[in-house]
């Protein structure tokens, strides 16, 4: 109780200081009223609640991953609606994400897969189409559904940080729609409402992936998102074997990812995150040809 009161007081002081700094005495006067203080406390309470839920997910999954368990997460295959959202970050990030999907895929007719791709990224668009063609050919009766949503790129290569603020804001608005829209293929089904919020969001960067994670966190703070939805999984790329990339640093600093994993034992030791091994290497070692209709997982 003492901790809660202390945090509430701190939030109230921050609210007043921010109002005075940006809008002057009048706004600061409003901020010290009961509504202003209550708003600050409600926001703080929601942030703490979301952070605790994320900590609970990490506490449940990380020990299994660190011990080498492959299927550490909950089994969602029996749910009437299962929704995954994958951020295809272009170039090598997309190639790596496709490998992640192929290794974790389980055939389920109740599953929907949504791909977020930035405008102009034809490579990722073609990769997602090829993947879905493979899934459909491998398990036509249990392939589920999928869609692809294009969003504004948060920051282009060599773009200034000042102008990237505006493109990131536009990207965030596009992402809100991507995180809340019911898939058109499921809109008129009996379980359509269950497809509104993705269960799991998987990203391996770059910048747009962090914006997706940030928007998901904000939605969990301000909306009545079901507790089992919008779980963010960040996979640091295999190319980072001794230090985190910028997106990894942002996820690590903010703690908004429900699960953060790396692909190098050296990096795992340095940052204290579970090591899942080199995904691309593991995928290359899988037997060929690809999956058959009787397989649960893609190879």
- Tell me the pLDDT tens digit for each residue of 196-207: 999 999 999 888
> Hey, is 150 helix, strand or coil?
strand
Q: Which residues contact 94 (CB under 8 A, 6 or more apart)?
A: 88, 121, 123, 124, 127
CA distance 54 to 267: 22
What stretches of 145-210 adopt beta strand conformation (E)? 145-151, 200-203
Q: Which residue(s) pair with 129 in the sheet?
A: none
Q: Which residue(s) pair with 86 in the sheet?
A: 115, 202
Express each pLDDT in 153-191 by its tens digit.
877 777 888 888 888 888 889 999 999 999 999 999 888
How do strand 259-261 and strand 231-235 relate by DSSP bridges?
parallel
Token pair of 176 as six digits: 């809100």
Which of 50-54, 263-267, 276-280 is the least confident region?
50-54
Is the distance from CB of 237 to CB of 245 less than 8 angstroms? Answer: yes
- Residue located via tokens 């409402």: 193
pLDDT at 227: 87
H-assigned helices in 67-138: 91-104, 122-138
Is pLDDT at 104 greater than 60 in this prediction?
yes
What stretches of the chain adopt beta strand conformation (E)? 82-88, 111-118, 145-151, 200-203, 231-235, 259-261
Burial of 203 (0-12, 13-18, 19+ CB in 10 A): buried
Burial of 290 (0-12, 13-18, 19+ CB in 10 A): middle
Domain boundaries, the chain: 2-65, 76-284
What is the average pLDDT across 277-283?
76
CATH number of 76-284: 1.25.40.80, 3.60.15.10, 2.40.290.10, 3.40.50.2000? Answer: 3.40.50.2000
H-assigned helices in the chain: 2-23, 25-31, 34-66, 91-104, 122-138, 161-180, 207-222, 246-254, 265-271, 279-284
- State the pTM of this model: 0.78
Token pair of 284 as six digits: 């290359």
pLDDT at 299: 53
* Terminal Cα-to-Cα distance of the chain (whole angstroms): 52
Positive or negative, the CA dihedral 78, 112, 212, 280 is: positive
Q: What percent of the chain has pLDDT over 90?
A: 45
């Amino acid at each position: 109780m003492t901790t809660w009161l202390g945090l509430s007081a701190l939030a109230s002081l921050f609210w007043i200081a921010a109002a005075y700094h940006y809008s002057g005495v009048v706004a600061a006067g409003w901020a010290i009223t009961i509504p202003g203080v209550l708003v600050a406390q409600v926001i703080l309470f929601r942030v703490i609640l979301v952070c605790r839920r994320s900590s609970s997910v990490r506490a449940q999954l990380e020990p299994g991953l660190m011990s080498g368990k492959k299927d550490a997460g909950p089994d969602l295959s029996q749910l009437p609606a299962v929704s995954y959202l994958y951020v295809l970050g272009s170039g090598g990030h997309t190639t790596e994400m496709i490998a992640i999907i192929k290794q974790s895929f389980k055939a389920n007719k109740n599953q929907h897969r949504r791909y977020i791709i930035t405008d102009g990224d034809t490579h990722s668009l073609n990769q997602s189409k090829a993947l879905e063609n493979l899934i459909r050919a491998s398990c036509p009766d249990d392939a589920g559904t999928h869609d692809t949503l294009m969003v504004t790129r948060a920051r282009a290569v060599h773009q200034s940080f000042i102008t990237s603020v505006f493109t990131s804001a536009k990207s965030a608005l596009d992402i809100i729609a991507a995180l809340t829209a019911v898939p058109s293929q499921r809109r008129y089904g009996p379980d359509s409402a269950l497809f509104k919020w993705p269960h799991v969001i998987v990203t391996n960067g770059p910048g747009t992936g962090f914006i997706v994670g940030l928007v998901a966190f904000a939605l969990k703070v301000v909306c009545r998102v079901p507790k089992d939805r919008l779980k963010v999984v960040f996979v640091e790329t295999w190319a980072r074997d001794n230090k985190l990339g910028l997106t990894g640093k942002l996820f690590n600093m903010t703690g908004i990812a429900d699960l953060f994993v790396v692909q190098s034992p050296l990096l795992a030791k340095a940052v204290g995150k579970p090591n899942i091994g080199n995904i691309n290497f593991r995928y290359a070692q899988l037997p060929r040809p690809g999956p058959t209709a009787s397989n649960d997982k893609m190879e």
